[in-house]
Amino acid sequence: MTIEINSIAVLGGGTMGLGIAGLCAQKDRKVLILDISMEAAQKSLERIVSGRPPAVDDPEKAENITLGTFEDDLDKIADYDWICEAIVEDLETKRDLFKRVEAVRKQGSVISTNTSGIPLKDIIEDMPERLRRDIAVTHFFNPVKVMRLMELVPGEDTDPAVIESLAAFCGGVLGKGVVYAKDTVNFIGNRIGCFWMLMGLHQAQQALEDGLSMETIDALMSKPVGLPPTGLYGLIDLIGLDVMDLVGKNLAINLPAGDMGVDFTAFPPSVHALLERGQLGRKTGGGFYRMIKHDDGSKTLEVFDLAAGDWRVSEKVQLDDVHSTLDGLFTDDAQGKFSWDMTSAVLSYAADLVPQIADDVVNIDRAMRWGFAWARGPFEMIDALGAQRMMERLKSEGRHIPKMLQVLADAGAETFYKNDGSEYLGLDGVYHPTPAE
């Protein structure tokens, strides 16, 4: 039976918490924000109304929000239908809070954590049965108001009604694109997206040695393969090298043995040197790129040339017609080799993760489109490349054929989707109706 959600208690008023609270308030739900102090909670409310961008479209919607502190007001969550935790990413801190929450929440309420990397099973280990039944992961992406993706992850004991209720509310009321993930490290989007970035730094290092420029690498890893215009280095600048370093360390601890990503959890030496000297990205005024402002008001984009170890003026790259499309992956030159090595690696990685991180190709494709702004998800990209063409190339290079490509071949099928995407190939080798977006 679906649980109706009309009120939300958000635990933690940081960037993610205020984003979730603001979106719920915008939809005219009663919202409670609890933080470590009233001053912190008040600052969250100010950011909800006046942030860049604000978390509510109409400032009057902020009147739906009540503020409080963990110390004085935790008992108030007894009046709320959904309790959404969005505090610091620390296992013991989360566990301590959930123990306190369980003691005061009402029967029939649902609970979620917005963790991006801590396994749910670790958070709820040895917790009361009621909590384990009523909890899930609701992993929103930042900024919450803008990003469509929300990954919904049940625990081993989660009541299906809790998942149905959260999916109905987050999808139907909040307008999120809900994908269903498994309780594995980094879920879907960050598992594949972070593999692409960390693996990419190593592939790019080889490409630099082969004579490609950093600007060419970013040009190849953007529009030609249906990825955002930031490319590889530009995206990591946006995220921050310090954040990516922490991601890599978390993956090194939590990736299963034999995972392709194990080899790429640490930066190449030239990139690690940037981290060591605090050259982290946009947040520090420059990482791989920086913008120089001149006295006359003009600006110059510079790139930190990893091969030369110094800044230089960034060059505009104009790719030829072939390298501007997926066909560029099959050209016999340095650009084609790099594009193929990068793209085939991440597609192979994704194709080996069903059903480990998600039950089907649809959830993986949607996670990458909605969370990382890929024009096509991994399996949609394989369809565009040609699965048979990809398998033949992998075989010629003596590389592993990933699970879902083998399923495709064994089924005698040519694509993961057919009939304009209305059907998808399952792990059982049979086509199934594609769920509506």
**What pLDDT, in 10s, does the model give residues 201-244?**
999 999 999 999 999 999 999 999 999 999 999 999 999 999 99
Evaluate if residue 330 carries a pLDDT over 90.
yes
Burial of 132 (0-12, 13-18, 19+ CB in 10 A): buried
Q: Domain 347-433's class?
A: mainly alpha
The H-assigned helical ranges of 135-255 are 160-167, 189-209, 214-220, 231-239, 241-254
pLDDT of residue 406: 98
Evaluate if residue 332 carries a pLDDT over 80.
yes
User: What is each CA distance from 119 to 129, 154, 224, in whole angstroms?
Assistant: 18, 11, 35
pLDDT of residue 293: 94
CB 376 within 8 A of CB 366: no
Beta bridge pairs of residue 301: 291
Evaluate if residue 1 carries a pLDDT over 80.
no
Asked if the domains 189-313 and 347-433 are classified in one and the same CATH topology, the answer is yes
Place of tokens 């215009």: 229
Mean pLDDT calculated for residue range 309-333: 97
Task: Name the CATH architecture for the domain at 189-313.
Answer: Orthogonal Bundle (1.10)
Distance, CA of 260 to CA of 350 (rounded, Å): 10
What kind and span of H or E run contains 170?
none
CB 393 within 8 A of CB 385: no
Evaluate if residue 429 carries a pLDDT over 80.
yes
Closest CA relative to residue 193, chosen from 93, 185, 290: 185
Q: Residues 261-319: pLDDT tens digits?
A: 999 999 999 999 999 999 999 999 999 999 999 999 999 999 999 999 999 999 999 99
Question: What average pLDDT does the structure give for the chain?
Answer: 97
pLDDT of residue 130: 98
pLDDT of residue 214: 98
To the question of domain 7-180 being in CATH 3.30.70.1170, the answer is no
Closest CA relative to residue 29, chosen from 57, 62, 56, 7: 7
Evaluate if residue 2 carries a pLDDT over 90.
no
pLDDT of residue 117: 83
CB 155 within 8 A of CB 136: yes
Sheet with 310-313, side-by-side order of all strands? 289-293, 299-305, 310-313
Find out whether the peptide bond into 59 is cis, omega within 30 degrees of 0: no
Query: What are residue 178's phi and psi, to 5 degrees?
Result: -90, 125
Q: Residues 110-141: pLDDT tens digits?
A: 999 999 989 999 999 999 999 999 999 999 99
Q: Residues 381-402: pLDDT tens digits?
A: 999 999 999 999 999 999 999 9
CB 350 within 8 A of CB 378: yes
**Boundaries of every domain in the chain:** 7-180, 189-313, 347-433
The distance of Cα 105 from the centroid of its chain, to the nearest Å, equals 30
Residue % of the chain over a pLDDT of 70: 100
CB 187 within 8 A of CB 181: yes
